[in-house]
Amino acid sequence: MERNTQLILDVFAEASVRATFFTLGWIAVRHPGLVRRIADAGHEVASHGFSHIRVDSQTPEDFRDDVRKSRRVLEDIAGVPVRGYRAATFSVGPHTPWAWRTLEEEGYAYSSSVYPVARDFYGVPDAPRTAYRPDGATTLVEIPISTVRFGARNWPCGGGGYFRLLPYWLSRAAIDRVNRVDDMPAVFYIHPWELDPGQPRAGGAPLKSRLRHYVNLSKTHDRLRRLARDFRWDRIDRAFDLAGGPR
């Protein structure tokens, strides 16, 4: 975790990029120095929950406890307000209508937890592609992962396995389209493990899972460096003008 996250920090420092780090409380407790380095470098520290449990597998009460605990832990360690949240495996949507209201009540200003695509275990394909006020929220904003609209479907271009599987030029063209044609910031994500081609290989995993997780790990670092240079990037709270003071 320390090594792989530092690789991302180094890429961003080289390109003068500031970003948002959605961080697990579980990780922060075990690597507090890393969280402080992220904040000291000018990046936004946001919550990824405490234990990486899907929202739709929690009760509303368990969810509230999780997001409250993670926010407190991150703020205590980083010494900065935590205003953003991302659900594990993009597991927030119409099936969890209480989640956005809970986040708002717990002091979060925004969520970036919806991917408007059709996938086997996540995705809300008919969700808005731009930032929106979700049902049940009065101030909280949902900022979806970026997609491009082609034909009658939304196509993913916001990172993850697609960034490793597809050729770089296609990812670059899609993000450029979001900026120019849709006239909005692109929301792109990457995990620290995606920069680690030497990570252990899990035995017995299905072929589909192996492709999703291990494909082109050796190319991710260089692709991320190119991406950092090819566009202007910033923290989510600044890119979407949400960088207010603590609530």
Angle (CA) 115 116 121, round 5°: 60
Confidence band of 164 (pLDDT split at 50, 70, 90): very high
The answer to whether position 139 is within a domain reads yes
Contact in structure between 100 and 110 (CB atoms under 8 Å): no
Residue 135, SS3? coil
Take residue 78 and report the two structure tokens written for it.
């980083």
In 3D space, the residue among 237, 224, 148 whose CA is nearest the CA of residue 193 turns out to be: 224
* pLDDT tens digits along 29-62: 999 999 999 999 999 999 999 999 999 999 999 9
- Going by pLDDT thresholds of 50, 70 and 90, the confidence category of residue 209 is confident
Domain membership flag for residue 81: yes
Residue 76 — pLDDT band, cuts 50, 70, 90?
very high
Helices H / strands E in the chain, number of each: 10, 7
Residue-wise pLDDT tens digits, 33-42: 999 999 999 9
Residue 131's domain comprises 2-235
**Does residue 245 have a pLDDT over 60?**
no
CATH number of the domain enclosing 115: 3.20.20.370
Q: Which residues in 29-173 belong to E strands, given as ranges?
A: 44-47, 84-85, 110-111, 141-142, 147-150, 153-156
Residue of 5 and 205 predicted with greater confidence? 5
Write down the pLDDT at residue 79: 97
- pTM of the model as a whole: 0.94
Q: Quick one: pLDDT at residue 212?
A: 82
Using the predicted structure, report yes or no on whether residue 8 has a pLDDT greater than 90: yes
- Count of CB atoms situated within 10 Å of the CB of 191: 14
Placement of tokens 């491009």 in the chain:
148
User: 116 versus 120: which is more confidently predicted?
Assistant: 116
> Residue 206, class by beta-carbon neighbours within 10 Å (0-12 exposed, 13-18 middle, 19+ buried)?
exposed
Read off the pLDDT band of 6 (50, 70, 90): very high
Q: Which residues of 87-124 are buried (b: 16+ CB within 10 A; e: fewer)?
A: bbbbbbbeebeebbbbbbebbbbbbbbbbbbeeeebbb
Is 51 contained in some domain? Answer: yes
The pLDDT tens digits of the residues spanning 82-110 come to: 999 999 999 998 889 999 999 999 999 99
Q: What is the band of 246 on the pLDDT scale with cuts at 50, 70, 90?
A: very low
What's the total number of domains in the chain?
Answer: 1
Is residue 247 assigned to a domain? no
Q: Quick check: is 88 in a domain?
A: yes
Residue 120's pLDDT is: 66
Give yes or no for residue 188 having a pLDDT over 90: yes
Q: In the sheet where 141-142 sits, what is the strand order?
A: 20-23, 44-47, 84-85, 110-111, 141-142
Q: Taking all residues of the chain, what is their mean pLDDT, rounded to a whole number?
A: 93
240 lies in some domain = no
pLDDT for 136: 86
243, part of any domain: no
Kind of pairing, strands 20-23 and 44-47?
Answer: parallel
Angle CA(166)–CA(168)–CA(170) in degrees, nearest 5? Answer: 70
Compute CA distances 158 → 120, 146, 150, whole Å.
17, 5, 15
Whether residue 97 lies inside any domain: the answer is yes
39, 77 contact by CB (below 8 A):
no
